[in-house]
């Protein structure tokens, strides 16, 4: 009986020992597996971090090369410690480049992307015509299909389809038809389709007003022209930084030439069916002449949706049968700007436009702009403006958000830096 009990006790002890041993083995196996998995996770995290910093190094290398105008292949690789990085540069479009770096450490992949973009200047053209103290004269049947803001008198025999505001005491609107509201110190011989506001001390003389007529005591304040001199100076610096062409630059015949950014010490002449493809800001010292079926356009890859500048300290003559256009996108415009001070001669003004211009803006800082008979333009801004008989300004609302670029000669900056899938 005792032997039987002893055998049962012995079996129980062996069973308990085996059970405890199994539990110990199970716990040890679990701990080992957990430790192994944690090691794998930790190792993967290290490899992923190495891949990330390799990609960071790749982006920094590409941006450094872009910033310093160094050689930059479209695709290249190098090692960063035990990791590697593959760099890719997109084709330059609309003044921007997308650079992508893929870091790889033991097949752990991290990708980063940066956008390197030329800086732009937002210039809002809110009016079909904005005019300085020189004022505006409108010929028979001339039309402004938009609003006018003028710091000087507006007179003639034309039509303003929307509103007109004439600033400064002593100035007036005279002889014009206004489709909507008008505001000026004085009004003479005008038809006003909306309301008229004039200033105390001003006069009303034979003005037919469809809406209400009110008087205000405060002087109507002038508005500065939308482009500050500092911006014009910057465009000139960007053009000069691209190189200087001594004397006149002439493109003639059935040929196409890329140009910009450049400063030309003489005159720019585009003539006889030639095409000038602008790849950066152009500044000429002695004027611009476009004649005989010539074409000036912004380069599509350089500008895309952005607008560009063709400026001169001399006079601009745009003859019939020529074409001035942006890059081809609807928001892209060519700004033709003159700093010439001629204000009196309608025959030889600062800017003389004798051709329709669908995507051009004409601008003088201190001179006269003339739109010839039957010419149509998108927008005119200048110290003084003359619209010949039947000339038309058809304002386009997109001009309120025009973004101007100096093109490849301008200043660049990183506008985006992020990780991608």
- Each of the 421 residues of the chain gets a pLDDT tens digit; together they read 555 555 555 566 666 666 767 677 776 676 666 666 666 666 767 888 888 888 888 878 877 777 666 777 878 888 888 878 887 777 555 556 778 888 888 888 888 888 766 555 667 778 889 999 999 999 999 999 989 999 999 999 999 999 999 999 999 999 999 999 999 999 999 999 999 999 999 999 999 999 999 999 999 999 999 899 988 998 999 899 999 999 999 999 999 999 989 999 999 999 999 999 999 899 999 999 999 999 999 998 888 878 899 999 999 999 998 999 998 888 888 999 999 999 999 999 999 999 887 778 999 999 999 999 888 888 899 999 999 999 999 887 656 655 565 543 344 566 677 888 7
pTM as predicted: 0.73
User: How many whole angstroms separate alpha carbon 409 and alpha carbon 91?
Assistant: 17
DSSP 150-167: ESS-EEES-EESS-EEE-
Q: How many CB atoms lie within 10 A of CB 388?
A: 20
Is the separation of the CB atoms in 126 and 144 below 8 Å? no
Other Cβ atoms closer than 10 A to 279: 21
Distance of alpha carbon 211 from the chain centroid: 40
Element (H, E) at 336: strand 334-338
CA torsion angle 284 354 230 396 (round to 10): -140
Dig out the tokens for 417 from the structure. 């830096």
CA distances from 388 to 143, 158, 355, 376 (A): 10, 10, 12, 11
Distances (CA, A) of 177 to 174, 182, 192, 211: 9, 10, 6, 14
Residue ranges of E strands in 106-188: 108-118, 120-123, 129-138, 143-145, 148-150, 154-156, 159-160, 164-166, 172-174, 177-178, 182-184, 186-188
């Amino acid at each position: 009986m005792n032997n039987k009990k002893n055998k049962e006790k012995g079996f129980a002890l062996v069973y308990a020992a085996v059970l405890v041993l199994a539990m110990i083995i199970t716990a040890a196996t679990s701990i080992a597996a957990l430790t192994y998995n944690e090691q794998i996770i930790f190792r993967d995290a290290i490899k992923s971090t190495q891949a990330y910093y390799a990609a960071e190094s790749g982006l920094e290398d590409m941006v450094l090369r872009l910033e310093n105008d160094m050689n930059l292949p479209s695709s290249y690789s190098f090692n960063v410690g035990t990791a590697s990085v593959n760099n890719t540069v997109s084709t330059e479009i609309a003044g921007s480049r997308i650079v992508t770096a893929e870091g790889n450490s033991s097949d752990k992949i991290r990708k980063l992307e940066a956008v390197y973009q030329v800086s732009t200047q937002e210039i809002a053209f809110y009016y079909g015509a904005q005019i300085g103290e020189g004022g505006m004269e409108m010929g028979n049947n001339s039309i402004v299909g938009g609003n006018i803001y003028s710091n000087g008198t507006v007179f003639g025999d034309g039509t303003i389809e929307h509103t007109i505001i004439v600033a400064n005491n002593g100035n007036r609107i005279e002889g014009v038809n206004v489709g909507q509201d008008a505001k000026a110190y004085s009004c003479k011989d005008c038809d006003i389709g909306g309301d008229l506001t004039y200033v105390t001390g001003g006069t009303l003389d034979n003005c037919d007003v469809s809406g209400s007529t009110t008087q205000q005591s405060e002087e109507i304040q002038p508005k500065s022209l939308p482009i500050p001199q500092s911006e014009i100076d910057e465009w000139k610096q960007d053009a000069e930084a691209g190189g200087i062409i001594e004397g006149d630059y002439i493109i003639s015949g059935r040929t196409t030439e890329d140009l910009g950014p450049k400063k030309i010490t003489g005159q720019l002449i585009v003539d006889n069916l030639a095409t000038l493809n602008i790849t950066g800001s152009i500044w000429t010292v002695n004027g611009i002449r476009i004649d005989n079926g010539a074409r000036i356009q912004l380069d599509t890859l350089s500008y895309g949706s952005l607008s560009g500048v063709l400026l001169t300290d001399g006079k601009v003559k745009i003859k019939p049968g020529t074409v001035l256009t942006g890059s081809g996108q609807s928001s892209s415009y060519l700004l033709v700007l003159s700093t010439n001070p001629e204000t009196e001669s309608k025959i030889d003004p600062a800017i003389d436009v004798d051709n329709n211009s669908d995507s051009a803006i004409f601008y003088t800082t201190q001179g006269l702009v003339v739109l010839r008979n039957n010419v149509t333009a998108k927008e005119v801004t200048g110290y003084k403006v003359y619209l010949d008989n039947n000339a038309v300004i058809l304002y386009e609302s997109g001009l309120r958000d025009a973004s101007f670029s100096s093109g490849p000669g301008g200043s660049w900056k990183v506008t985006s830096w992020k990780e991608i899938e």
